[in-house]
Structure 1
Amino acid sequence: MAAAELFCDLIASHSGRDKVMKVLCYTAKVLSTPNSTIKTENAKKFYIFSSRVSQARATLRLIDDLPAILYALKYGLGRQEKTRFDAVLGVLTNIVDILFFPVDKICWLSDHNILQLDKEKKSKWDVINSVFWSLSVFLNLSRVLRDYHDKHIVTPRLILDDGGEKTSISSKDQYEQQRVMDSITVVRMSLDLVHAVSSLPKGCLWGGEIKSWKVGVIGSLSGILGIYQYVVKIKKSKKH
């Protein structure tokens, strides 16, 4: 019963629901490759399922630009950041995230034949979409890595250099839990970067070089890590 309630809490929000759909989408993508254990007929069914779930996720992204714009307006020029570099990185990330959504909308309209584009133009918009996706993940990962470096590498060293600092066991446990969650975020976003770049055309880094089932594994692992973090967040919020 507790597990069912937790799952309902997970899918109650757009973010949680998207994470579940992501795992379903990419797990089906792994199974869509025919092999000795999966017949071609079944593989086609998994491919169709993966494709439909992916389209559903794209549809749900149609109004995601509004929260992104609001966040960017609140963030402003990043004067709350510790360094100017962090501020510039934050502003660039917000710009790329905002520009991604109209491009994604054009691709969605084209995929559903609402916007009529020839094959060449559609291909160009798909490439632009992949470029913005890759840039967005790269910039967000860069911010996460800088934050991780400051919180878990620089700060502990400063404390040790200062002769140590007496902390309670609960504080140490909280710090360790946060370090683990931050480490998972780094791994998850690194997987997302590998995935995003793989969607670029051949010749652009490792674009087009990763097999479909491997992309499915990468996407599934990222989704599972995302669900784990979200569940931990839900449990923590219920305790307070």
Structure 2
Amino acid sequence: MDTAVQVLDTYRGRDKVIRTCGYTIQLIAGLLPKEHQAFADALIGTASTLSGSRVVLRLCDDIPMLAYNMGYGLGGHEKDQFIRWVDVVKNMVDQFYGPVEHVMWATERQLLPGAYTEKLKEWCTKIWAISLTLNILRSLRALIILRLKKQRLAKSKQMEENDEADKKDDEADIKESMKTLKLQAFNVWLTLVGSSTDLVNAINWMPPGFLWAGKNPLALTGVMGMISSSIGLYRVYASKVKQA
């Protein structure tokens, strides 16, 4: 109970809960038979309202994101150059997403001329898809690096088995390192799956004619969103448990 309260007491925690609820509602709406279309439409409207509340909350994200991106800079601390520059580009893309979404929100509220609302929505989706693609590329590279590290540890373990001196201490260190690498790989896989399922939805919301744009049923959109949202919620929960 205490951990749940801690999750709901944070911006990220509430955002992930709202997101999960929204996609769950979409899944239910997509599974309803046609004779319950009126109720399905009501559910879709509710999911849209929840999504809109997250857009409003993101109006405050620009400054924290800018502070993070400035702190990361050109990623000089990253050992792998591929990951470094993917992160730099992704940070720039994410920073650009905010203002575009804010303008779109303002046009929807008719605070600004609404002639370009649909075009702005399209750009938001494209920018999001680019960010997700970069995240997937980063995750794939990270998995390759972790696999190579595991292979080196396995070789070290084999060499230690042939050397009796300080064997127990070295084996303990290798086991601990292997455990750490497995945990890192698990987290990277979560990121990869979450970004991939979100990308499925992002492409579905692209203009018709691009890959499977507009072809996915509502239930599939709900499932993909639920998977990525649940992963995000789990990671928030896990971080709170670790801090407790």
Shorter-chain TM-score: what band? Answer: 0.7 to 0.9
Contact 1:195 1:218 in 2 (8 A): yes
In structure 1, what residue type is equivalent to 2:101? D
Give the secondary structure class of the aligned counterpart of 2:30.
coil
- Residue aligning to 1:159: 153
Query: Percent same amino acid at aligned positions?
Result: 27
Q: Does 1:5 align with 2:10?
A: no
Once the two structures are overlaid, the 10-residue window that deviates more, 28-37 or 200-209, is 28-37
Once the two structures are overlaid, the 10-residue window that deviates more, 227-236 or 168-177, is 168-177
Give the secondary structure class of the aligned counterpart of 1:32.
helix
| Number of aligned residue pairs | 232
Q: Does 1:70 align with 2:67?
A: yes
Would the alpha carbon gap of residues 205 and 184 (structure 1) be closer, same or farther in structure 2, given more than 3 Å must change? same
Q: What is the CA-CA distance between 1:24 and the residue it aligns to?
A: 0.8
Q: Does 1:227 align with 2:233?
A: yes
Q: Does 1:214 align with 2:220?
A: yes
Would the alpha carbon gap of residues 87 and 172 (structure 1) be closer, same or farther in structure 2, given more than 3 Å must change? closer
In structure 2, what residue type is equivalent to 1:99? F
- Residue aligning to 1:117: 114
Q: What is the CA-CA distance between 1:172 and the residue it aligns to?
A: 4.7
Q: Does 1:100 align with 2:94?
A: no
d(CA) in 2 for partners of 1:233 and 1:212? 32
**TM-score (norm: length of structure 1):** 0.88
d(CA) in 2 for partners of 1:73 and 1:177? 28
Q: What is the CA-CA distance between 1:34 and the residue it aligns to?
A: 6.5
Contact 1:31 1:38 in 2 (8 A): no
Q: What is the CA-CA distance between 1:38 and the residue it aligns to?
A: 7.2
Give 1:44's match in structure 2, choosing from 22, 41, 46: 41
Q: What is the CA-CA distance between 1:45 and the residue it aligns to?
A: 2.0
Give the secondary structure class of the aligned counterpart of 1:113.
coil
**TM-score (norm: length of structure 2):** 0.86
Question: Which of these two proteins has the greater Rg computed from alpha carbons?
Answer: 2
d(CA) in 2 for partners of 1:37 and 1:10? 37
Would the alpha carbon gap of residues 200 and 96 (structure 1) be closer, same or farther in structure 2, given more than 3 Å must change? same
Q: What is the Cα-based RMSD across aligned positions, in Å?
A: 2.1
Would the alpha carbon gap of residues 53 and 123 (structure 1) be closer, same or farther in structure 2, given more than 3 Å must change? same
